[in-house]
Amino acid sequence: MRGRMAVWWRCKSFTSSASPSRLAKPLIYLDRPDIWYPSSSPSGVSPYLRHAYNEHAAADIDGKLIANDIKATVATEIRHMKSSIRKVPGLGVILVGKRKDSFSFVSIKKKACEEVGIASVVVELPEDSTEHEVLAVVSLLNRKESVHGILVQLPLPNHLSEEKIINAVNVEKDVDGFHPVNMGNLAMTGREPLFIPCASRGCLEVLHRCSVEIIGKKVVVIGRSKIGGLPTSLLLQPRVFIETITLLFGLERHHATVSVVHAFTKNPEQITREADILVSDVGVPNLVRGHWLKPGVVVIDMGSTLVKDSNNSHCSHVTGDVCYEEAIHKASAITPVPGGVGPVTISMLLSNTVEAAKRAYQWTERSYQQEQSFSYIPLSNVHI
């Protein structure tokens, strides 16, 4: 492992011809949102890691491939749900104003919904909408039975209270996980939120799928936004009594030692250099330089900033918080930007929406499987 932190591969017998989706562990669903499957296999190849030609460079974590696998699982569940109860999950999106980036994000989410079979409805409101008008739309979507998830595209125009509007979303439809009840339950030990913010769930899914060991590791999270940094730092810490979990499931949860670094941290690089796993969610391009990293660290770059090209000011590209060119010489694995955490985050929104619908209809994949096995009982076995 070249003296780096061990990245344990889960799929011992993986070969390049095998389909990653067949080998991957299932999604971290909400009834057991952060279960860690300990791995003991030090060899093999993860389907989600693209190794560089240079053996001293970090492996790229293929967020698109992870997202595609998650989407495939979600799409299958939706097909089963449709065939079982003739219902599909519904997502309601509220977009206020004409911000180009928000418009683009909403389009991506809408397209992703279509791909997997989620019925999405986007309510576009003018920039000068009053709080009362936005709240009326939230209330309408809260009442609508065919809408199981509600997403308010952020940021909202300055004259609107984000807090009031987010708090008005029904906790059971809060697929973004930003409602204080969901955030509070995420923070407290022994509680389970109905939804975990998509970017954080995506970050955990990436670590799980690449079989990165979390328990007992030092994690440094840069940034404290409710979208990424805060929930990720909460999710990685112990949240339940280990005794209970061990007795009930024989499984363990994330028990990382988490430090949170921010703009007021003196010499942040001293702290980040201790990290086995580094998560950055700041939105400052190339903030994290090579000398901030410990050799072998796993880097999850949640930053995503549009930066103008130096050669052509009319063109721009998306850049992460981590200086990729420097980081690949230190890290053992890294999420590139774009193509890392971003696509996984979108797929987690789809997964959260399906979970919301499953809860609303009290439908589970297991009930579908039972239904199917019942319908295939050979007639010879039926005694009347």
Instruction: Please give the residue ranges that form the binding site for a second copy (CB under 8 A).
Output: 163, 178-191, 215-216, 224-226, 230, 234, 237-238, 242, 255-266, 268, 271
Tokens of 85: 């109860």
Q: In angstroms, rounded to a whole number, what is the distance separating the alpha carbons of residues 168 and 138? A: 7
Phi, psi of 36 (to 5 degrees): -110, 125
**Closest approach of Cβ 184 to a second copy, in Å?**
3
Give the residue from 331, 339, 340, 45 showing the smallest Cα distance to 205.
Answer: 340
Give me the active site residues, please.
Answer: 109, 153, 176
Tokens of 256: 């990382």
**Closest approach of Cβ 217 to a second copy, in Å?**
8
**Closest approach of Cβ 230 to a second copy, in Å?**
6
Residue 90 or 268 with smaller CB distance to a second copy: 268
Residue 36 or 324 with smaller CB distance to a second copy: 36
Residue 11 or 175 with smaller CB distance to a second copy: 175
Residue 71 or 254 with smaller CB distance to a second copy: 254
Q: Is 94 helix (H, G, I), strand (E, B) or coil?
A: strand
Phi, psi of 38 (to 5 degrees): -65, 140
User: Helices 341-361 and 63-85 sit at what angle, rounded to 10 degrees?
Assistant: 20
How does DSSP classify residue 358? H
Give the residue from 254, 265, 192, 260 showing the smallest Cα distance to 228.
Answer: 260
Give the residue from 291, 312, 298 showing the smallest Cα distance to 341.
Answer: 298
**Closest approach of Cβ 222 to a second copy, in Å?**
11
Say which amino acid occupies 39: S
Q: Are 59 and 4 spatial neighbours (Cβ–Cβ below 8 Å)? A: no
Say which amino acid occupies 335: T
Q: In angstroms, rounded to a whole number, what is the distance separating the alpha carbons of residues 188 and 211? A: 26
Q: Are 253 and 203 spatial neighbours (Cβ–Cβ below 8 Å)? A: no
Bridge partners, residue 91, by sequence = 120, 149
Tokens of 241: 């009594």
**Closest approach of Cβ 216 to a second copy, in Å?**
5
Residue 71 or 173 with smaller CB distance to a second copy: 173
**Closest approach of Cβ 224 to a second copy, in Å?**
6
Residue 88 or 260 with smaller CB distance to a second copy: 260
Tokens of 23: 């080998």
Residue 76 or 259 with smaller CB distance to a second copy: 259
How does DSSP classify residue 134? H
Q: Are 357 and 90 spatial neighbours (Cβ–Cβ below 8 Å)? A: yes
Q: In angstroms, rounded to a whole number, what is the distance separating the alpha carbons of residues 181 and 172? A: 10
